[in-house]
Structure 1
Amino acid sequence: MLLMIATRHLALKRMSQKRTIDAFFAPAAKRPRNSIPGEENSEANRDEIISKSQHPKYPFSIAELPASISKELSSLPARPARIINNEPDLDLLYFEPYIPDYLARQLFQHLRAELPFYRVEYQIKRGGIESQVRTPRWTTVFGLDETSKFDDNGTVVDANTGIKVPPDRRYDKYSPRPLPKCLDELRQSTEAATDCKFNFCLVNYYASGADSISFHSDDERFLGQDPAIASFSLGARRDFLMKHKPAAPNQGESSAIKTGVIKFPLNSGDMILMRGKTQSNWLHSIPKRTGKNQDDGGRINITFRRAMIKGGTENYYNFNVGSGPVYRWDKRNGSMMLWKPT
């Protein structure tokens, strides 16, 4: 009898060891497709109370990031940057990615749903002919130049004295508004990762491959000398093209720098920091996508910049907010819709 009990005990022990060893070498359980690492309890996510950023100049309050996303932003970047400076006057930090894919997807959906957007129209004169331009993408902007700041009540005050800024045409036409917390948390992370300082955030939404931006450089005088600009890509993959500026007419053909177009196929979560002589010597663009790749689900581009003078504030609000109506993402229709106060 004792022998039978001992034999059975030994068999059970071996089975237990086998299960333990099998479990060790077995593949990890797959996470549900729509779950978030560390956030498998969807009920907890749904029950989370989301606070909102508010300011008199916001058309509506803007939801802050869920705590799960906010917490992960503080641990970014996901990978160290790759330095790219192998072309004349080019100085880039390329994060592939800065934000991991699952987090970039959530951030894209949050910002598209929560931010106010605009389709700005403005007049330009070329060759003596004035024409109307409709921006080929959705835009929005938040921030204030270095000469001023927002006090605790959201009032624009002098950066040095803290005294309320008197009426100024550069602020009066388009009233400045602070970065909502959902963008400011990413700004803080970016500053820590790049050792740069930013006071403006521009957000572009490319609804499809038909939306684009032509070759240009962010070399406005109000950005100061050798500005640093951090550019994030969320959502659909789009090509980011760069090419060296042509030689000035008075420099002659011999002084032109011969470089081709450089293409960066930006994935969701990637970030490029353009710094040093880059803006004064290089152009960049997001070209259109046609054919089967045109309906790509949309892309959001976030750029952090630092405007030094009031003219920068006036410029950014003029070309990214303007005087037209406000639009907001409508999930049911899957598009930006005209927003009306309720």
Structure 2
Amino acid sequence: MGNILNSVILESILLDEGETLYKQNEASAYDLADDNGYAYHKVAAWVKGKDGTKYIKTASIASRAQLGKVNVSVTGKGAAGLYEIDSEFYTVGENVPDPESIRNNSYCYSEVNNVLVSNAIYRSGFANLDFRLSTGLPLKQYFNNDGELNEATIQKVKNSLKPLAKTAVSENPPIMREHLIYAESLSAFVDWMVDENGEMVNKVSNGVLVVDVGGGTTDISFINSANEIYMPGSDTVKTGVLDVFKKLKQYLSSAYEIDEEHIRVDMLDKALRTNKFTVRGESKDCEGLCNKAKQHVAKRLNNFIDELVTTTLDHIIFVGGGAEALREQLL
């Protein structure tokens, strides 16, 4: 039992040989940032290299969870990727056949989110460390309609991660010292505006638009010359890469005469990344179908962006896994 848990910790997806996780001093906590996306959780932490150099390392983890014990380890010694919370078991993995939905407003403080964040913590090697966690919220959940912080939702998210889920082989869940929550799209603006030393490298004159394309939603933030969010020009639209998945599933089903229920999410994800789809053991080129599905969703996003943009912008920043998937179709 101890050996299995320790293997999760020692085999941190953030570390290469000779690297260690870094914190400023003995009294401080380690820092872990987790961007919980539609298909992957993207994690980041400070690391110290062999030569003592300190830098930020990033990695990604499949973020699909299904209620119940789904995948059995090939060793026969238990279920793979199994987590427990409130006497319920969830299986986390890239190829769970029927992942729980994340397309609802309550997902950010749900059991599923807790399980996936916990998985990111374990896989990053933080389970037995004193750590501080940073996560994000879509713009419309982070702020109220009047532009004030949505304290009620922010507190719900924090409460939902107390306690964190534990692995099936651990006796206790991880314990974090502090949980910080930020508006997801604004992090990209800060990254564009300042360098790693905090020095200003870009200035806003007419405005900057940040478009954060996620799985279920797309955050659009208009930043004015005072470095403030212009709320009438900002919004969250319920369109994202999961809509590309939905459309692509329809196209693949029709083109290759396959029931939609037999096309799993991980198969769609692979098809979008490789432009290949396996049909009855034969690899098919599905680039045309993928582009058609992407164009369908990108058109909706482009129309929505056009409605919000009423001035000449300095820059449009596209971020998020969805923006990468739709990079050839967006504007």
Same structural fold, with TM-score higher than 0.5 when normalized by the shorter chain: no
Structure ranking higher on relative contact order (CA contacts 8 Å, 6+ apart): 1
Which of the pair has more CA radius of gyration?
Answer: 1
TM bucket (normalised to shorter chain) is under 0.3
- TM-score w.r.t. structure 2 length? 0.24
- TM-score w.r.t. structure 1 length? 0.23
Q: Which has the higher helix share?
A: 2
